[in-house]
Amino acid sequence: MSADDTAGPTLEALYRARFGTAGAERARVWRILVATCFQRYVPRDGSVLDIGCGWGEFINAVEARQRHAIDLNPDARARVDSAVHLYLQSCAERWPLPDASLDAAFTSNFLEHLPDKALLVATVKEAFRCLKPGGHLICLGPNIRYLPGAYWDFFDHYIPLTERSLAECLVTAGFAIERSVAKFLPYTMSGRRPPPTFAIRAYLALPLAWRVFGRQFLIVVCKPAVR
């Protein structure tokens, strides 16, 4: 038996198995999420980075003068807009960006896939280095407090996170918390058809519904301005 026989599924294989037939529907949902929730943190004349961009649903939808994305999945080349600067590397390694060059950074359903907390800390430190003073980091991800069993239904989940544990990591790296929502979006679009556009917009406009159906946290932090 070779080493490849025991290596486990690749990123490409996992993504194709989960989302292979739902690309267009996922893109539709992300266009709504960006326009309704996330574009406000990204200046249209600024620079933004998608950390763990996957198939590029966020970075393809957001408007910015410069768009960057990082991922290890080679399938990202065919999915991310050609105008996006794509870096196929680990997010825990030094990013090919100057200090204080980003207005915003974003990550969704990615940090829990890092193999250990040391890599999470390294990723957060890179975000802090590359963001301008006053720049925002937006983090979206499954909250294990509300998913004690289902959290582990994905083969490549490693780090259990809540909004509080991630906030501790972000604050110790130097960030200031601007917004923390323990229950924001439902858990996953994997294996199910997303709801119609009107239902998504209605859900986002009704925070009371988040308390019932939300299983993902939303944290927005800011790099403090230099004094």
Assign 185 a pLDDT band (cuts: 50, 70, 90).
very high
Does the residue 49 lie in any domain? yes
Does the residue 38 lie in any domain? yes
pLDDT of 110 reads 95
Note the pTM of the prediction, 2 decimals: 0.88
Q: Which residue has the higher pLDDT, 15 or 212?
A: 212
pLDDT of 197 reads 94
Does the residue 227 lie in any domain? no
Count of domains for the chain: 1
Decide if 216 contacts 144 (C-beta within 8 A).
no
Does the residue 92 lie in any domain? yes
pLDDT of residue 13 exceeding 60, the answer is no
Q: Which domain holds residue 158?
A: 3-222
Amino acid letter, 61: A
Please state the rounded mean pLDDT for residues 197-226: 96
Q: What is the pLDDT of residues 125-182, one digit of tens each?
A: 999 999 999 999 999 999 999 998 889 988 889 999 999 999 999 999 999 999 999 9
CATH number at residue 41: 3.40.50.150
Does the residue 61 lie in any domain? yes
Does the residue 143 lie in any domain? yes
